[in-house]
Amino acid sequence: MPISALGGYLLQGELTVTYADSTEEVINSGDLFYWSPGHTVRVGEDAEVILFSPQDEHSKVIDHMLGKMAG
């Protein structure tokens, strides 16, 4: 599933985002972020995140993630 653009704020934890061109960016507690379409995210430390995205697109992403976690 293509992941759409996403912005947010990391309250706590650490995330690593990998972009379509294979570059990586580490997001730490207190960081604001914007991720372009085609990114993937890996959680390095338990994270608490506020996400800013259109509800329709975000709902599709959450449903996709829940399906992957369910196996």
CB-based contacts of 13, cutoff 8 Å, min separation 6:
29, 43, 44, 45, 46, 47, 48, 49
CA quadruple 70, 54, 6, 27: dihedral sign: negative
What is the C-alpha to C-alpha distance for residues 41 and 15, in angstroms, rounded to an integer? 7
pTM: 0.71
Percent of all residues in the chain with a pLDDT value above 70, rounded to a whole number = 93
Q: Where along the chain do its domains lie?
A: 6-70
What is the C-alpha to C-alpha distance for residues 22 and 49, in angstroms, rounded to an integer? 23
- Residue 3: band (very low, low, confident or very high) from pLDDT cuts 50, 70, 90: low
The tens digit of pLDDT for each residue in 34-52 reads 988 888 889 998 999 998 8
Task: Report the chain's mean pLDDT, rounded to a whole number.
Answer: 86
